[in-house]
Structure 1
């Protein structure tokens, strides 16, 4: 549905198209000579999918009970499409930056420099809050998991103490949180996705087995449960696709960053997530009908299978925690470097002023915030600070529902829709110096003749800019709607 900017005229085997492709690749490789990604396409899909799909998948059947199956599935598909478009715009924006230098911070510096600190602060707070919620989930679920495997567990107090389990699992996630590269988390992401697979199989199995029919309520197919319940469930589905905080890291680390490859990562990740959400939502809702609760796993008859499912949720959130630390650290670093006069205080690992990374060949140098550019000591201090603060919050706070509801309404909406839309609309303006240089580079790569331009490209560019602005307005609408829902209605649907 989304047209790649580098699409050439159709015609298999056309020699002119082949030569253009070679020249384009040559031009790109010349520009990207200073950085080479190491992450495979599969690794990027796995990490992005793990960032998307979390324990929230278990609440999708409740959303369907409020919306009805028809509307609920439509909202799941629409939300996935909107999230995918935001990711696509991020991949487009990354073309205006040096290879491996993409970040919200770098883009804000050349589009809305005065607001850069606000953007990064929102991302940092959002990722930090989600990370804390993961630790709280671990502390809440593990005592039940232990009791499920051993009914006499209460005789050993520390085994059913949430503080003990939060502390124990921190020993696992701390080393993972200190990894610089998102690609380094691909194996833990695989384990997390296996856990998701088990949860999906469990829900589908009970639906096929039909052992929940005695507890099933009415089924809504076309009718909905009313405006208020629908508004309460809408944010649950919209924010279920939030992964945009890690998209730039994916673009920086992927080995082949050709548009078709990055678009493929987006399509595979969002498509897989949407399939999982629909499968769990529909089969889970048909299992319990309108009697379904927020966590469907907790509704099944206690058994080894359901206990393993709770353990799978713990494993899932445990390995998702480092995926929140990664973008949080980069955003905190950018916020700490920001100065009121718009200049940034930057140091390289050896303490000398760091070299800035230029935007496109020949443009003025601009600072870039990436995990790779943070000095060893600074990297350790920021990471330690995030871990200690999140650990302390998880031990002292039993519920973050209200806080996360507001943080999600603002932070998730901003990084998913508003920022990608505004960034692309601003940077791709016809009078933008960055856009003009990129067009010149593409023109030289494609034809070598300024007069030999594809008129369709201008039309596609105009349409994409209008759609990006529409996405930003959609994000503002979602933010207002979600904040209003949090203010005036109960958020118990979470």
Structure 2
């Protein structure tokens, strides 16, 4: 049997936990057997460098840090402005609702991951079990979305660093050039972007989250300072309804999007049982929701309806704010690999699928029917227990290097050419973020349970899909109307 790059490797059945001792039976021998079998298959298929089997090392803490860093990015700076468009109470409710909807999308994807064999789950693997003919299009869309966000991080870094250099009294012309700093960024990111495993980025993600803590403190400090100018009476409102609701809703959707990395978290968690995966989702989404509420409320109460889309531009050029900008620049820099990782994985699946189509190699069979009990008519039975197979990546070093290099080069070229992505991020939020946060989780889960009885989760999967379609249609339409009228 041959191994196709990017496809699931047939591993030995999961080792089960002994009911009396709690030990994993024959864990090491099974991993060794998986490595041996994987290497034999690679040699048999004449692909000598595609075998990459590693033991899972992720923990709830490391996985939560990576997911939280994926969530907490440029969305923090635009959250007060989005709240100003909706009002204090309505804005807070939308933040909580967006957090819950995003968390539900993550949960549905984690349930779908349990229907894929071993620890090589992905959007592509789930698509092949539900909508095989559309799998390549799903992965292409996800890759484009992640690629667009990675470009935004480079642009933000390139815009912030000249301001920081000027505030620090550095007058050299090249230090005031955004192109210079984008070049520095892309070179510095090489060792991080080429990492094969998401768990390897936990330390840089933790460092980046320190910037969130600093911004958290700065926003509070400026709100509670006695020298703050009082806002005009009636400037802060509880509820505000206007057409701006539809143009700002994608900001809330975009702010909680981390779904592109949930499969890597599932694959790499040392104990990827339902309890551990759900705990990771709850911690990452819950902490992000708390941070967004704090920054949005205090930012709005500080500047009122005049708050800018980028909160940091409202604070002047003091030393405290300069270092806050520097910390945010580091945050977005370290967030780049978290977008490069899923983009590379999705592109690998797309390339593999195209190669298979040309060679007419066999693909997965779609799931016929299943439910959350063991009464299934499927090739894979879901289990809430941890999967003991090692993490399997079937991507040759040549493909890994070439795809990563291509992504970094293209993102560098685009970031050097584009100066503003405000409107682009709105489109990304209403299309790509909406698709992977709501539409795909909903339709995947429903497809896997289409013939099963109607349960609460099945109803939720339909509702979250409808919500995603609502955001896609109305918010995208509102942003298109905004472009037509030149209101940007």
Seen in structure 2, the aligned counterparts of structure 1 residues 148 and 57 have a Cα distance that, compared at 3 Å, is same
Task: Select 1:52's aligned residue among 68, 71, 82.
Answer: 71
1:301 aligns with 2:316: yes
Equivalent position SS for 2:354: coil
Q: How does 1:169-184 map to 2 (within 5 A)?
A: 169-184=185-200
Q: Deviations along 1:156-207, whole A, 9 cap, x unmatched?
A: 1101011111111112111100000000000000111001110111001111
Deviation at 1:221, TM superposition (A): 3.5
Tell whether 2:209 aligns with 1:193. Answer: yes
- Contact 1:49–1:273, Cα closer than 8 Å, also in 2: yes
Q: When the two structures are aligned, how many residues end up with a matched partner?
A: 432
Aligned twin of 1:61: 80
Counterpart position of 2:260: 245
Cα distance in 1, alignment partners of residues 322 and 486 from structure 2 = 24
Deviation at 1:28, TM superposition (A): 12
* Conserved? CA contact 2:18–2:25, under 8 Å: no
Q: CA deviation at 1:23?
A: 11
**Is this contact kept in 2: 1:141–1:314, CA < 8 A?**
yes
In structure 2, the partner of 1:408 is 429
Report the aligned-residue RMSD: 3.2
The residue that corresponds to 2:449 in the other structure is 428
Q: 1:322 to 1:340 in 2, by over 3 A?
A: closer
Structure 2: segments with no counterpart, 5+ residues: 1-16, 35-53, 368-375, 381-390
Question: 1:215–1:74: structure 2 CA closer, same or farther, 3 Å change rule?
Answer: closer
Counterpart contact for 1:200–1:280, Cα < 8 Å: yes
The answer (yes or no) to whether the contact 1:329–1:371 under 8 Å persists in 2 is: no
Encode CA deviations 1:32-87: one digit per residue, 9 max, x unaligned: 96574211110000000000010221111111211111100000000000000000
Pick from 461, 466, 470 the counterpart of residue 468 of structure 1: 461
SS at match of 1:198: helix
CA distance in 1, matches of 2:448, 2:324: 46
- By percentage of residues, which structure has more helix? 1
In the superposition, relative to structure 1, how do residues 356 and 466 fare at CA in structure 2: closer, same or farther (>3 Å)?
Answer: closer
Aligned counterparts, 1:250-265, within 5 A: 250-265=265-280
Change in 2 beyond 3 A, CA 1:335/1:262: same
Selected match of 2:475 from 465, 482, 485: 482
Q: What residue in structure 1 maps to residue 4 of structure 2?
A: none
Q: CA deviation at 1:340?
A: 8.9
Contact 1:90 1:420 in 2 (8 A): yes
Runs of at least 5 residues in structure 1 that lack an aligned partner in the other structure: 1-18, 347-352, 365-369, 432-457
> Structure 1 29/258 Cα, relative in aligned 2: closer, same or farther at 3 Å?
farther
How far did residue 218 of structure 1 move?
A: 4.0
Does the CA contact (< 8 Å) of 2:119 and 2:392 recur in 1?
no
Match of 2:352 in 1: 337
1:274 — aligned with what?
289
Q: For 1:227, what is the secondary structure of its paired residue?
A: coil
1:167 equivalenced with 2:160 (yes/no) = no
User: Structure 2-normalised TM-score?
Assistant: 0.81
Give the alignment of 1:295-374 within 5 angstroms.
Answer: 295-339=310-354, 363=379, 372-374=393-395
Matches within 5 A, 1:1-400: 34=34, 36-150=55-169, 153-154=170-171, 156-214=172-230, 218-224=234-240, 226-339=241-354, 363=379, 372-400=393-421
Distance 2:406 2:460 in 1: 39
Q: 1:492 to 1:317 in 2, by over 3 A?
A: farther
SS at match of 1:338: helix
Q: Alpha-carbon deviation of 1:27? A: 9.9
- Residues in 2 aligned to 1:210 and 1:25: alpha-carbon distance in whole angstroms: 60
